[in-house]
Amino acid sequence: MRVVIAEDNVLLSAGLELLLSTRGFEVAEVTADAAAFASAVDRHRPDLAVVDVRLPPGFRDEGVRAAIEARRGHEALPVLVLSQYVERDYAGELLADGRGGVGYLLKDRVARVSEFVDALRRVADGGTVMDPAVVQQLLARRPRDPLESLTPREGEVLALMAEGLGNGEIARRLVVTENAVHKHIGNVFAKLGLAPSDTGHRRVRAVLAYLEQR
């Protein structure tokens, strides 16, 4: 699996390169600014990109904007944003296309290497992985309204879906059976009008509905 990294901190970028190289990833290129990242994606056509939010020259939102453009130009390139900051507008935009393959983790909250590597693989496979703190900041700016038809348990299940957890992980977190989680998710889909015949990814669409309406 080929990866392009965009990170201007030399020590962190070197650490990421070493870590990924020893975990079965091929690091195609490490870049330090948004322009170099865009060029690297064009050259290597990676399977995954790991991008910091703030990159030279402005250290504002160059990285995440470059990631969004890369997804537009390269068939929804899987992107994991790894940053110290939550850029709420662009985080929402990354999720908005509904195609999955998106992650947003905070550097200071990555506790285990194995969990980070697992998050990378889930994003590369088209999943969505969001740090709970990112989810909370996204929710904090959304007007409250719909989704009131969900039961408290269904709301908990949907919130854990928004964190990128699978059914088994949700079951363990809530101390219920996987069958119970499957039933709750079915109820969520029904209440959000996401029919089985929906051609979109119902799980991603449910998470998007949650983030957009809270």
pLDDT, tens digit, 9 for 90 and up, residues 99-158:
789 999 999 888 899 999 999 999 999 988 888 888 777 766 554 555 778 888 998 999
Q: Where in the chain is the domain with CATH 3.40.50.2300?
A: 2-139
199 DSSP 8-state letter:
S
Tens of pLDDT, residue by residue over 74-110, are 887 999 999 988 877 777 777 776 678 999 999 988 8
195 DSSP 8-state letter:
-
Class of domain 142-213: mainly alpha
pLDDT value of position 25: 97
Q: Where in the chain is the domain with CATH 1.10.10.10?
A: 142-213
How many other CB atoms sit within 10 Å of the CB of residue 44?
Answer: 16
Give yes or no for residue 59 having a pLDDT over 60: yes
Q: What is d(CA 129, CA 159) in angstroms, rounded to the nearest whole number?
A: 12
Give yes or no for residue 195 having a pLDDT over 60: yes
Assess contact for 54 and 36: CB atoms under 8 A. Answer: no
CATH for 2-139?
3.40.50.2300
Classify 2 as helix, strand or coil.
strand
Q: What is the pTM of this model?
A: 0.67
**Percentage of the chain lying above the pLDDT 70 cut:** 91
